Structure 1
Amino acid sequence: MEKYSGNGSEFEFGKNFTINDQLTLAPAINLDVGDSYIAYRAQIKAIYQINDNWLTTLRWRPGIEVNENQSVKNKNHNQFNWEFGYANDQFSIIGDLEYRLTHYDDSEGDHNFWLYNVVASYYIDKHWKTYTEIGYIPRYNEDHEKDEMEVRYRMGIKYTF
């Protein structure tokens, strides 16, 4: 019997702290559930509002993955993101550049990588928003071929309290 199933779901719980009119700090805890693992990630994000519509962010997200396969151990990482984008009351479009430093026993720390995403969102109301994401990401394989990339497409809905 499998402990985990599905193509993956991600849940994030956090709070925004407004420092001033332009700067917000957003700590959060993130849970990513996949077919055979659960990943636990903490994060801190600084959001800087350049003007009424343009913004940029920096995020640090350390994480650890717990796999149901007992032979897979010590899958932890440090992730750094820089985002830049446009947002108004109806929609947003934001580019995301991510670098991940992996500390996996199976790759002996030699599987660090970049990925690129563009996320477009439409605000239904002040709580609900739909989104779609297109990313250019590394394909994970046991040989750790760094040059093998693939396109990822995600879509979903977010609720903000």
Structure 2
Amino acid sequence: MAFLLTFLLLAAGVLSCTEAQEAYSKLSEPYRKGVDLALQQVNNSAVQHHFLFFKSLYKSDVYVSFGTSHFYHNFNLKATRCVRGAVNPDPTKCQFRNDRPLLDCVACYNTLDDDIKPDPKPYIHCIHKPSLTPEVKKKRRDHCDGMNHFTGGATLLTHKRQ
């Protein structure tokens, strides 16, 4: 009986990881690049676990002009059992941990022809879900809204009226 229970739990973990990687692969290229920036930042920081993309919560993109767009992506990362610091681990073999809180991340950035522009610097903010407050959400949104400005006459017509 214990063997069956262990087998079912392992199978559920692999299925969950596979579903999450499928969700990642379904993201369009500009959104994947933003997730990759967040993963690079988180996995190269002082966190104790290796994280992978888990799911998108909210996505928006605004085409400005001449191949320039502004992206906003709110998503979750989840800790895995892969060794922290592993170079290019196989995501299909990194089982998700269910004993750690999710990381709630926001990535906002501007792109030119689907490449992330270095200016303004992309904004990546990740926080453990239990620590996410309305104030943190507002601070993130305000920061990202401040990045969504462009100069030039052709772009003035793309701004929303408030």
Global fold match (TM > 0.5): no
TM-score class, shorter-chain normalisation, is: 0.3 to 0.5
TM-score by length of 2: 0.33
Which structure has more RCO (C-alpha within 8 Å, separation ≥ 6)? 2
Higher normalized strand content (fraction of residues): 1
Higher normalized helix content (fraction of residues): 2
Report which of the two structures shows the higher radius of gyration computed on alpha carbons: 2
TM-score by length of 1: 0.34
